[in-house]
């Protein structure tokens, strides 16, 4: 038998069934994976199929929708509604929640950003999908307005030189799957993903165009990264697609910063389908997912309880070494700071 072919491919479905013994959760992850494959195909053919440009509409938070935003959203909604295991859906692209018809309803509620970083689509920069999963309690949108402690599964899919799915179950490990185009399946390729034990590469990632709006401890921390910790300056890397920036931070080390500021006092990223799912992944990979100084204290993103489906939150995510630099700047400013 040729060693070029894996006769026992460790697929996504197999992993979920082995670790949960829950057929409905297998169906849910399979439906999500199907939508990721469809989106990956559309992203890969965007130029040829003339899918670049605006769709002429705005989404729930007032952002201009790209053609691929609309297509990706439709692909995810269709896959999840018809999976038979979903009850309520929340998408960044829809102002109101989507209640699955009773004859197709199941026990899971899913929140998602179908195409994160879509402002980068037209210049062919990495984009991705982010999702979080909750179990039904009431069968209403309130089932999704819960903290990260109640999130049973979270993940993201990155569309780039390869299509990679990274996800975790609450209390579990962080696992990575790569789409093998020859068999059309996500195959297990990264096992028990962890931040580098030594902190990894010295990289800080933030939109420095907002520098003048930041509070002083954040300014001081970014200046410290640029001027060097222990005589070693950090490199700046900022893609502008959260999935791409977080994926690099998880694999290489470093820190990703999108804090609350004078312009956006509640932060810029969406809590339910950006902040909480990424926080679950970061923390279970050994990192820190902090709000920074927000609403009078420094807390964990995973402890936030969304008060609306499209509410926002600030984010400081990275390894303990680098988040510690930010915390030290808060301490110097006299702000009570949690231990790492």
Instruction: Look up residue 274 and give its DSSP letter.
Output: I
Q: Annotated catalytic, 93?
A: yes
Candidates 25, 113, 165, 220; catalytic one: 113
Q: Annotated catalytic, 180?
A: no
Candidates 68, 115, 145, 250; catalytic one: 115
Candidates 51, 89, 92, 185; catalytic one: 92
Closest by CA to 110, choosing from 177, 172, 28, is 28
Closest by CA to 250, choosing from 279, 275, 273, 282, is 282
Q: Annotated catalytic, 116?
A: yes
Q: Annotated catalytic, 135?
A: no
Q: Annotated catalytic, 303?
A: no
Q: 150 to each of 133, 155, 167, 182, 201, how far by Cα in Å?
A: 9, 15, 16, 37, 32
Candidates 25, 51, 68, 116; catalytic one: 116
Candidates 63, 74, 150, 180; catalytic one: 63
Candidates 89, 93, 269, 322; catalytic one: 93
Contact 288, 282 (CB under 8 A): yes
CA distance 109 to 144: 7
Burial classification of residue 238, based on how many CB atoms lie within 10 Å of its CB (0-12 exposed, 13-18 middle, 19 or more buried)? middle
Structure tokens at 318: 């990275």
Instruction: Look up residue 85 and give its DSSP letter.
Output: S
Instruction: Look up residue 254 and give its DSSP letter.
Output: -
- For residue 305, the SS3 value is coil
User: Residues with catalytic annotation?
Assistant: 63, 69, 92-93, 113, 115-116, 274
């Amino acid at each position: 038998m040729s060693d070029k072919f894996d006769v026992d491919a460790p697929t996504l479905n197999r992993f979920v069934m082995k670790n949960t013994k829950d057929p409905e959760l297998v169906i849910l992850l399979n439906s999500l994976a199907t939508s990721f494959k469809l989106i990956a195909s559309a992203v890969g053919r965007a130029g040829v199929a003339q899918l670049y440009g605006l769709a002429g509409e705005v989404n729930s938070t007032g952002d201009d929708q790209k053609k691929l935003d609309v297509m990706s959203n439709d692909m995810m909604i269709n896959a999840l509604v018809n999976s038979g295991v979903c009850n309520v859906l929340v998408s960044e692209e829809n102002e109101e929640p989507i209640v699955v018809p009773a004859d197709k309803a199941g026990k899971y509620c899913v929140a998602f950003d179908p195409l994160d970083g879509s402002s980068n689509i037209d210049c062919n920069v990495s984009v991705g999908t982010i999702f979080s999963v909750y179990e039904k309690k009431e069968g209403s949108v309130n089932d999704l307005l819960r903290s990260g402690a109640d999130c049973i599964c979270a993940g993201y899919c990155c569309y780039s030189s390869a299509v990679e799915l990274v996800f975790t179950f609450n209390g579990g490990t962080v696992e990575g799957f790569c789409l093998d185009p020859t068999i059309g399946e996500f195959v297990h390729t990264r096992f028990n993903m962890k931040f580098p034990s030594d902190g990894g590469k010295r990289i800080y990632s933030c939109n420095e165009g907002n520098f003048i709006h930041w509070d002083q401890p954040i300014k001081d921390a970014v200046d410290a990264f640029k001027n060097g910790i222990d005589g070693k300056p950090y490199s700046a890397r900022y893609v502008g697609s959260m999935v791409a920036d977080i994926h690099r931070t998880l694999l290489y080390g470093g820190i990703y910063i999108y804090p609350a500021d004078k312009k956006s006092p509640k932060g810029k990223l969406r809590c339910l389908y950006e902040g909480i799912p990424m926080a679950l992944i970061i923390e279970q990979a050994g990192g820190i997912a902090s709000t920074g100084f927000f609403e009078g204290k420094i807390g964990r993103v995973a402890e936030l309880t969304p008060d609306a489906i499209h509410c926002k939150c600030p984010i400081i995510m990275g390894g303990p070494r680098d988040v510690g630099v930010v915390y030290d700047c808060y301490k110097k400013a006299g702000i009570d700071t949690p231990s790492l």
